[in-house]
């Protein structure tokens, strides 16, 4: 769970997860969580007209795995209040996903999704069951452990929705689940892979299918899921934009993992452990 704060005061709660690229760790969440601005209108969402200057993240203490601790991470540069998060290098604020580089305390227990693994990916179909794992209304069943909400793929995943790298799902999601990882858990059944091979998954296998980013309307259960390829693009490009989305503030060279450059994917990414 992530909690957005301004001068120490809670503004909102949401969801995020950690990915790894080489030795680096990044918090992945929605842009509107960290910017405090509506993803389509770009208007400031808080009624007092303030936006987050830090985000608090729950993590598991490796010395006592029953204890959850909280760290506060700045989201703005102390010198000029420019954003510290990275955005999509070509689409910028049109993509409601960002990556915030983390410096984690010693003893932090987590298993990040590895975005540099060159793996074969499963093919998703319309009607396929997925899970949005997050914190509706800031609720969890054990501090930092998310609630699994069932979702069904509602548009053809291989076709961009509105020309952007995302698809739609049908799910009973609510406030607080923005930024959730969307997981595909096939269970013990054959799964067609993008290579054309057929693979039988284990019960504990799951695949990262995307990043959830809210509903199309407060009156609808249809929501947005950004493809995992945008995470790879963001980490590889490491571009920063202004908080209002109008100008690029910094350009950095691409990040390279221990086995080389972060690889873009055609489908979705696999891992076996959730956080």
Q: Both 241 and 106 in a single domain?
A: yes
What are the structure tokens assigned to 188, written together? 């013990």
The reported pLDDT for the residue numbered 145 is 83
Where on the phi/psi map is residue 49: left (φ > 0), alpha (ψ -120 to 50), or beta? Answer: left
Choose the weakest-confidence range: 91-105, 150-164, 181-195, 240-254: 240-254
Residues 84 and 138 in one domain: no
157 plus 167 within the same structural domain: yes
Query: How many residues are present in the chain?
Result: 275
Give the tokens for residue 33.
């969580």
Specify the CATH number for the domain of residue 201: 2.40.10.10
Residues 233 and 99 in one domain: yes
Same domain, 32 and 82: yes
Residue 234 reports pLDDT greater than 60: yes
Residue 82's pLDDT band, with cuts at 50, 70 and 90, is very high
Assess contact for 223 and 39: CB atoms under 8 A: no
Q: Are residues 208 and 239 in the same domain?
A: no
Lowest mean pLDDT among 52-56, 131-135, 197-201, 269-273: 269-273
Contact between 57 and 70 under an 8 Å Cβ cutoff? The reply is yes
What pLDDT score was predicted for residue 120? 64
Per-residue model confidence (pLDDT) at position 267: 37
Same domain, 8 and 84: yes
Min mean pLDDT across 76-90, 182-196, 258-272 is at: 258-272
Are 149 and 181 in the same domain?
A: yes
Residues 68 and 20 occupy one common structural domain:
yes
Average pLDDT value for residue range 108-125: 73
According to DSSP, the β-strands at 113-114 and 17-21 are parallel
Whether residues 72 and 12 fall in one domain? yes
- Measured distance CA(13)–CA(221) in Å, rounded: 20
CB 220 within 8 A of CB 188: no
Least confident of 118-132, 174-188, 247-261: 247-261
Contact 2, 27 (CB under 8 A): yes
Q: For residue 34, what are the domain limits?
A: 2-113+229-261
Q: Are 104 and 135 members of one domain?
A: no
For the chain, the domain total comes to: 2
At residue 53, does pLDDT exceed 80? yes
Question: Are 153 and 198 part of one and the same domain?
Answer: yes
pLDDT at residue 149 greater than cutoff 70: yes
Query: 116-120 long-range contacts, Cβ below 8 Å, gap at least 24?
Result: 116/20, 116/21, 116/22, 116/257, 116/258, 116/259, 116/260, 116/262, 116/263, 117/269, 117/270, 118/263, 119/269, 119/270, 120/193, 120/194, 120/195, 120/197, 120/199
- Specify the range with the lowest mean pLDDT, choosing from 33-42, 85-94, 112-121, 221-230: 112-121
Whether the pLDDT of residue 184 is over 60: the answer is: yes
- Coil/strand/helix, residue 244: coil
In this model, does residue 174 exceed pLDDT 70? yes
């Amino acid at each position: 769970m992530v909690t957005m704060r301004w001068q120490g005061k809670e503004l909102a709660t949401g969801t995020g997860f950690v990915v790894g690229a080489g030795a680096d760790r990044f918090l992945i969440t929605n842009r509107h969580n960290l910017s405090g601005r509506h993803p389509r209108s770009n208007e400031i969402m808080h009624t007092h007209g303030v936006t987050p200057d830090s985000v608090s993240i729950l993590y598991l203490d490796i010395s006592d795995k029953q204890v959850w601790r909280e760290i506060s991470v700045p989201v703005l540069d102390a010198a000029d209040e420019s954003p510290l998060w990275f955005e999509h290098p070509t689409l910028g604020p049109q993509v409601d996903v960002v990556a915030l580089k983390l410096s984690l305390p010693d003893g932090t227990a987590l298993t990040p999704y590895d975005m540099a693994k060159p793996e074969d990916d499963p093919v998703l179909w319309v009607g396929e069951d997925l899970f949005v794992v997050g914190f509706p209304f800031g609720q969890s069943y054990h501090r930092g452990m998310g609630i699994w909400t069932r979702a069904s793929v509602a548009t053809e995943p291989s076709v961009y929705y509105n020309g952007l790298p995302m698809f739609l799902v049908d799910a009973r999601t609510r406030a607080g689940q923005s930024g959730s990882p969307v997981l595909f858990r096939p269970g013990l059944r054959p799964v067609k892979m993008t290579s054309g091979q057929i693979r039988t998954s284990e019960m504990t296998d799951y695949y990262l299918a995307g990043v959830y980013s809210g509903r199309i309307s407060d009156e609808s259960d249809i929501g947005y899921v950004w493809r995992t390829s945008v995470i790879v693009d963001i980490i590889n490009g490491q571009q920063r934009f202004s908080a209002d989305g109008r100008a690029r503030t910094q350009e950095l060279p691409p990040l390279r993992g221990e086995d080389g450059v972060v690889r873009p994917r055609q489908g979705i990414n696999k891992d076996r452990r959730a956080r």
